[in-house]
Amino acid sequence: MTELRRNSIALGIAVGLIGVPFGVLAATAGLSAPKAIAMSMLVFTGASQFAAVGVIDSGGSPLSAVGSAMLLAARNGLYGMRLSTLLRRAGWRRVPGAQFVIDESTAMSLAQEGEAQQYEAFWWTGAAVFVSWNLGTFLGVLLGDIVGDPEVYGLDAAFPASFVALLGPLVPDVPARVAAIVAAAIALVAVPFTPAGLPILLAAFAVVPGLLARRRTDEIALGVDEASP
């Protein structure tokens, strides 16, 4: 098996492990097994699912649960825009395939070199995460409290670690690095002042300094910039 496929499956398994605590939380929040599994299959965007079930679990209304989950789901639309040219060749398969447009498939895809590999990584990671996330949810609902606190196993480190491992190829130049660093700063500054879900959307504004940096590097490349003596 190629490294690309191995990595896609590895990421799928890591996400599946996070599906277990989602299933547990869904059960404690009072969701039936069919509802929890329907969420994982149909909503299929982990952060939104955790947010929705978390709001319900802490006694919030279904409306605020859906609202904060929608905020977190919005970024998948931005990923879709980025992946649109790559996935054009998929034709009608984009209609079911859109369900796979999530953090993990986008990251694994864009971390590859060459369009063929990016295309393959999108489908493999999307499918691996889909299968694994739903299996994990099912296990979590079944096992419930037997699993215990996922933090004991360091499970909460799996997601950020996998993104650290994939980030390198995504920040090849100065503009991408500027956007990345500013985005992290915006998100962290926003955390205490905004409801969950908003910091990540506000972070998208970091593309503005990224674009300014892009224009600057382009100007230097074109020799428009007046070099100091």
Partner 1 sequence: MSWTAIIVLASGAYLFKLSGLFIGNRLGDGVVRRGVELIPPALFCALIALQTFADGTELVLDARVVGLLVAVVATLRRVPFLGVIILAMIATALTRVVAG
Binding to partner 1 (CB under 8 A) within 87-146 occurs at 87-88, 94-95, 98-99, 101-103, 106-107, 110
- DSSP secondary structure code for residue 40 in this structure: I
Q: Kindly tell me which residue out of 1, 146, 152, 227 binds partner 1, with binding defined by CB under 8 A.
A: 152
**Residue where the block lists tokens 């060749």:** 89
**186/226 with CB nearer partner 1:** 186
Piece of 75-83, 113-121, 128-136, 140-148 that binds partner 1 (CB under 8 A): 75-83
Minimum gap (Å) between residue 84 Cβ and partner 1: 3
Nearer to partner 1 by Cβ, of 198 and 227: the residue is: 198
**Binding status of residue 27 toward partner 1 by CB under 8 A:** no
According to the binding rule CB under 8 A, does residue 174 interact with partner 1?
Answer: no
The C-alpha atoms of residue 160 and residue 98 are separated, in whole angstroms, by 24
The whole-angstrom separation of Cα 3 and Cα 169 is 16
The single-letter code of the amino acid at 207 is V
Contacting residue, 138, 139, 176, 216, with partner 1 by CB under 8 A: 176
- CA distances 181 to 26, 81, 167, 185, 187, Å, are 34, 22, 12, 6, 10
Three-state SS for 125? helix
